[in-house]
Structure 1
Amino acid sequence: MASLSLLQHYLDYLSSPAVLLTILILVGPFALERFKNRALRSDSAIGIKLQGCFRLGISKRSNLDDQYDRTSRNGSTSSKAKIKALFTFPIKSCKGVELSASEVGPTGLKYDRLFTFAQLLSKPDKSKIATDAGGVQEVSGDWQHEWQFMTQRDFPRLALMETQLWVPDPKKQSTKKGHDLPNEEANDASWSANGGCLIIRFAFEPDFNPFGLRTDYVTISLPLNPSPARGASKKYAYETLSIWKDHPVAVNMTNEIPPKDLAKLKYFLGVSNPLALFRVDEGNKRAVTRCLPKGRVGETYSVGFADAFPVHMLNVASVRAVDDELPAKAAVKDKLDARRFRSNIYLSGPPAYAEDSWKKVLIGRCVQRVTHDNSTRMVETDGEYHVACRTARCKLPNTHPDTGIQDRNEPYTTLGKTRKVDKGAYPHPCLGMQVIPLFEQGILRVGDEVEVLETGEHFYEKMFT
């Protein structure tokens, strides 16, 4: 009875007007600020400010929500492959945008890997390093500075960065100025005149953040296809960017990010070096030189900031098969999310690993330029894709797409035991296929069937030898 009386005493004390008023005074401003912050960053608020644009993509239920169902797990030899889900990834290694349909060009899905974050790395100039008689190396003091692209391999919190695509709406074009986001300075054109807007959002939490009340939802806005006037006003720089073995010239658009937001972004990602945001320069795309289609002499293929090939394709049944092989004690067992593999095209229908032998497929529709009797015309036909090779896997899929936490082992350890199926890729395991579009302009839709025209054995050609 004494303990009950003591509990009642504390309850009466905490519910007294004086104590409640004190709590309201101390906590109220933080709660109000957080509520206002959420409201300001809501989709509806952004939609009002982006007049002349609409948000591209699926905003409600994902087409991958049922990926764990038994039908997805098994597949069928008699079922035709179909597109189950489509994703484009505007910023390399950040969250993707799920689509019901997408335009496709020679370099992949529209907006895919159009941007990338990069850090500035510095190292001694090897040409200026001398070795004395005693074998001691002396550095002249000259250094080389290089922008290097960033991925979840080293910065797993990139997975937490939400991206939104706002594209011009031809039905609601506005000629008015001043409809940009709060962090956008006055410029000579609206968002729609700059190809639309890419919005990046992340939750910044300071070191001292009681009850999460000081969480700041940072929003950064970027033009998708900036005009020359925009580039001049923001003082874009054209700089060399290191991405694997390639060193293309790209557009440094970091001046689009307010300094305070850039500082929060560095802290959020855990970057100690200078941080920048680059956009693909349309005139300096990287050449695809490996696993090319035969019989198409003289044709060239290119890619933006994707690792090596324009499009990635993955069978959901193959992901479920990997899940089945995971050890029972693995944290990801029975819930291996296909999104970890960051594919553009997710397929349903065929059994696991059926795609391993595909060499040429038809998916969706495309428009091709046909020349006959000295006249050229555009012809609509089925979209033809060269299945270039299997995808050699690293540890990036160990990162949980919703938490940004990187598992030490899985699924990479299990892939290493079960999916070393390509001698060319050894010692890397493989899952999914790399694909090259063989047309100028096409479209893909969820539900499109895949017709396999050609099968055969693949041999992965390594990027580094």
Structure 2
Amino acid sequence: MYSTQWAQYFFTIPTITFILTVIAICTPALVALFLYELEEAHLRAAKPASCRKLGLSTESNLQNEFYPKFSEGQPPNSKEASPAAWRVKSIWIYPVKSCRGVELEEGTVIATGMEYDRQFSFAQLKDGPAATAQEPGKEGRTQKWEFITQRQYRLLATVKTEMWVPDKSVERYTHHAEEVESGGVVVLSFSYQEPGWRGILAKLRAALRSTVPEKRFRVPFNPSPAQIEKAGYTFEQMTIWKDTASALNLSVEVPPELSTYLGMSNRLGLFRVDNSQLREVYRNAPRKEELGYQPVTGFQDAYPLHLLNLSSVHALSALISSSPSPQSQSTIPPPLPLSATRFRANIILTGPPAFAEDTFRLIHIGSTALAVCCRTARCKMPNVHPITGERHASEPDRTLRRERAVDRGAGKGVGCLGVQMVAMLDGRGLVRVGDGVVVKKWGKSEYIPQ
């Protein structure tokens, strides 16, 4: 009965009304489909030719890092657990210093640390007539480039990094592609919405992916001499801590909007390490006579490799939660539980008891031998949230200084977490998630300041 009445009503609807109704119903879906295809085309166009993107295709290996089981370390001579219970949990590279990292399933260890790690660094122009962003074309002989990190500009933590490397298996691969000749491409992106209708369109496209509008730019990973000349890149001196290193200035590729996003007043630059003039590592590192080569590093703070024990991060979280906050900060909750990503290590282990890594001297990860140089002396950078870029007023720095000032060489009140390492090789090694970790030599060390 009702179906008959509905059919009679349907055929009495004017044609124009029916057409307008169908259009009204279908238009939002068609617009959404159009925007989705537009975003897909945009992403395809931005994909570097003849390259594949490094990184996990699945969820992070740290997705369960807060499980209580990772608080329970086991000694290597335990009857319940063999040394094989000590394993690599997660591997990271940070192509651009202080920016978002790339998590890997396996990584290559070379003389400078993990391949692709800390090869670039942002810097600001200090001194000289061209120091401010408002005077970009008045460089003088007195200009001085100085590296920057999240210590000064916390929003660097939110600058996303993609590492694209040449891959012959990629469709339409050609060894003549610029991206191949430069050894790959680094793509960086940060939150940005253009003014006007373009920005509105970008916002709608991003909403379909539950993201926000971004501005993307790319730089060649290791440009050839011909590419350097064509692009107008120049080798200049850049200061990193107490070192002054030669580095390739690729600042012409950096969009001016990034300075505004970071809140900078000085001119912003982007530099790549000069492989012909790498910084040599001494202090606690083994010498050339022992390794066969003098350890070197890129734009890491001091040593090529950084290792972290997940149970130590759990122990630090417990110390923070059991300690009352200062009265002046009592309304600010501590950033618990702490993620291991706050400490920006290359290799994150599970298995050893908390802080057992303090006495590692020589370890094997798979077949790769690594010399442990010293503890990692911590600054306030781990106070910055690795995803949002928000900086906590005191933690974990306050607890590290109180509970982990365990190294006389690091100085009074300097907290330590994790260890610094160099590779016992003059070539290449491989580390994989799940590799067993075996300590070949134990001992004590004392940090030597820069």
Give CA-to-partner distance per residue, 1:32-73, whole Å, 9 cap, x none.
99878854554x554xx4332111111331011111001112
SS of alignment partner, residue 363 of structure 2: strand
Name the structure 1 match of 2:341.
339
After superposition, where does 1:232-381 map in structure 2 within 5 Å? 232-257=229-254, 262-293=255-286, 296=290, 299-326=293-320, 327=323, 331-364=333-366
Segment drifting more, 202-211 vs 62-71: 202-211
Answer whether contact 2:193 2:215 (CA < 8 A) is retained: no
Answer whether contact 1:34 1:213 (CA < 8 A) is retained: no
Instruction: Give the C-alpha shift of residue 398 in structure 1.
Output: 0.2
Answer whether contact 2:167 2:173 (CA < 8 A) is retained: no
Match of 1:109 among 111, 114, 133: 114
Instruction: Give the C-alpha shift of residue 249 in structure 1.
Output: 0.6
Instruction: Give the C-alpha shift of residue 31 in structure 1.
Output: 9.7
Name the structure 2 match of 1:384.
369
SS of alignment partner, residue 410 of structure 2: coil
Match of 1:458 among 439, 445, 449: 445
Name the structure 1 match of 2:383.
398
* Distance in structure 1 (CA, Å) of the matches to 2:102 and 2:291: 35
Q: Where in structure 2 are there 5+ consecutive unaligned residues?
A: 1-30, 130-139, 205-211, 325-329
Match of 2:103 among 82, 98, 101: 98
Name the structure 2 match of 1:194.
182
Answer whether contact 1:234 1:256 (CA < 8 A) is retained: no
Matched, 1:218 2:220: no
The alignment-based identity, stated in percent, is 38
* Distance in structure 2 (CA, Å) of the matches to 1:362 and 1:453: 7
* Distance in structure 2 (CA, Å) of the matches to 1:250 and 1:390: 28
* Distance in structure 2 (CA, Å) of the matches to 1:339 and 1:458: 25
Quickly say closer, same or farther: Cα 1:33–1:242, change in 2 above 3 A: farther
* Distance in structure 2 (CA, Å) of the matches to 1:413 and 1:212: 41
Answer whether contact 1:57 1:98 (CA < 8 A) is retained: yes
Name the structure 1 match of 2:424.
438
SS of alignment partner, residue 178 of structure 2: coil
Instruction: Give the C-alpha shift of residue 224 in structure 1.
Output: 1.2
Name the structure 1 match of 2:126.
121
Match of 1:425 among 407, 410, 413: 410
* Distance in structure 1 (CA, Å) of the matches to 2:201 and 2:381: 31
Answer whether contact 2:363 2:369 (CA < 8 A) is retained: yes
Matched, 1:408 2:393: yes
Answer whether contact 1:41 1:217 (CA < 8 A) is retained: no
Name the structure 2 match of 1:26.
none
After superposition, where does 1:172-211 map in structure 2 within 5 Å? 172=170, 174=172, 189-205=177-193
Give CA-to-partner distance per residue, 1:101-136, whole Å, 9 cap, x none.
011101100000000000001179xxxxxxxxxxxx
Give the total of aligned pairs. Answer: 385
Which letter maps to 1:274? R
Answer whether contact 2:49 2:177 (CA < 8 A) is retained: no
Question: TM-score under structure 1 normalisation?
Answer: 0.76
Answer whether contact 1:38 1:217 (CA < 8 A) is retained: no
Quickly say closer, same or farther: Cα 1:33–1:232, change in 2 above 3 A: farther
Q: Where in structure 1 are there 5+ consecutive unaligned residues?
A: 1-29, 125-141, 178-187, 365-381
Answer whether contact 1:87 1:99 (CA < 8 A) is retained: yes
Q: CA RMSD in A?
A: 2.9
Which letter maps to 2:181? A
Answer whether contact 2:202 2:213 (CA < 8 A) is retained: no
* Distance in structure 2 (CA, Å) of the matches to 1:153 and 1:108: 23
Answer whether contact 1:319 1:336 (CA < 8 A) is retained: yes
Name the structure 2 match of 1:13.
none
Answer whether contact 2:259 2:265 (CA < 8 A) is retained: yes
Give CA-to-partner distance per residue, 1:175-219, whole Å, 9 cap, x none.
669xxxxxxxxxx84312221111101111579999994964111
Give CA-to-partner distance per residue, 1:254-304, whole Å, 9 cap, x none.
2234xxxx2111101111111111001100110101102266287411101
Question: TM-score under structure 2 normalisation?
Answer: 0.79
